[in-house]
Amino acid sequence: MRIGIMGAGSLGTIIGALISKGNDEVELIDVYEEHVKALNERGATITGTMNETIPVKAITPAEMSGNYDLILLLTKQVFNHDVVSNLKNYLHHDSVILSLQNGVPEESLVSILGEKLVIGGSVEFGATFKEPGVSELTTATEAFQSNAFQIGELDGSITDRVKKIKEILDLVGGTHVTDNLVGTKWSKLLVNVALSGMSAALGCNFGEVIKDDASVYSAVSLADETIRVGEAAGVTFAPLAGFNLGVFKLAEDESNLPTAIGFARKAFEPQALLRASMLQDLEKQRKTEIDYINGFVAAKGKELGIATPYNDLVVQLVKKAEEEKSVPTFEGNIGYFKALKK
């Protein structure tokens, strides 16, 4: 099977390298020429919770040729229109495009590629690009070996092609096939909205988000808004890494708040060192995926008549940082969240 890893950045470098160990025909495709050169000359180096250098084949998009059987889409969603329109030139009738991007990109991918070629998935580990040829795995290996990916067909059917792709992704970490892809994507979205949204809006890691009373309350409120909007849109949230995220839905009198906060602190403690990829983008003065994460929930909320004040605030703060090319600080922004609390 000829496999293309479209976007060999933080995640794509690691996923591409580990898949290359078990497959001959894997190409890591990236626009960053110095990185492509380093990957070809020195191999892909994984640091952090894993230490390994793996020989890989890397190319730039201009060097693509022929057809790919499977493309793992790992560029940022902000580039999807251009990246995916170009990809169409390198597919055949039975090619499969698996987006592992955060957010819910499937609908827009189908509008460019048609329904048949697209499947979806979520990633349950973190990675940070370090330098050309090197990416850091930031999730403990035990967690990653049991829960790295959930993948599935858009209509929930369990097909042979999904089972085959599961076997390929198992070379990276524990891969589960889901019959509720929409619920899986929304559950991962909830984590990104709550933890990554706060990490980006406050310029801090997940540990700092869950430690402070005001920021953990805000993270839970973001999760609560996501559940309300998702349920109104007909989504049944799927378990994530074995956790049921329904615990974040707050009662009218917030009587279950201590349970929700206790759960957030326990569930995300092992991820305390994670810095959201949206925060990494702000640090690199890049456009973030905010429109596809908190902005997506806020827009859907508006459509369905559900107020999303915490998501609106995160969008506003992250966009301000994008425009100013600055990185938010905890001290600078926590006051805005405190002011929102009834």
Ligand X SMILES: CC(C)(CO)C(=O)C(=O)O
Decide whether 27 or 30 has the Cβ nearer to ligand X: 30
Per-residue binding string, ligand X, 31-70, x by CB under 6 A, is ----------------------------------------
> What binding mask, one character per residue, do residues 274-293 give for ligand X by CB under 6 A, x or -?
x-xx----------------
Q: Does 119 bind ligand NDP (CB under 6 A)?
A: no
Q: How far is the CB of 139 from ligand NDP (least distance, A)?
A: 8
Give CA torsion, residues 80, 81, 82, 88, to 10 deg. 90
Single-letter amino acid, residue 225: E
Window contacting ligand NDP (CB under 6 A); options: 25-33, 45-53, 200-208, 317-325: 25-33
- Which of ligand X, ligand NDP, none sits in contact with 290, Cβ below 5 to 8 A by type? none
Q: How far apart are CA 194 and CA 327, in angstroms?
A: 18
Q: Is 83 in the site for ligand NDP (CB under 6 A)?
A: yes
- Give the C-alpha distances (Å, rounded to integers) separating 217 from 75, 186, 224: 32, 20, 10
Q: Diameter of the chain by CA atoms?
A: 60
Closest approach of Cβ 277 to ligand X, in Å? 3
Phi then psi for 160, rounded to 5 degrees?
-65, -35
Q: Is 178 in the site for ligand X (CB under 6 A)?
A: no
How many residues bind to ligand NDP according to rule CB under 6 A? 27
Residue 276 binding partner per list ligand NDP, ligand X, none, with a CB distance cut-off of 5 to 8 Å that depends on partner kind: ligand X
Candidates 145, 309, 135; CA nearest to 217 is 309
Listed residue (143, 136, 137) closest to 270, CA to CA: 143
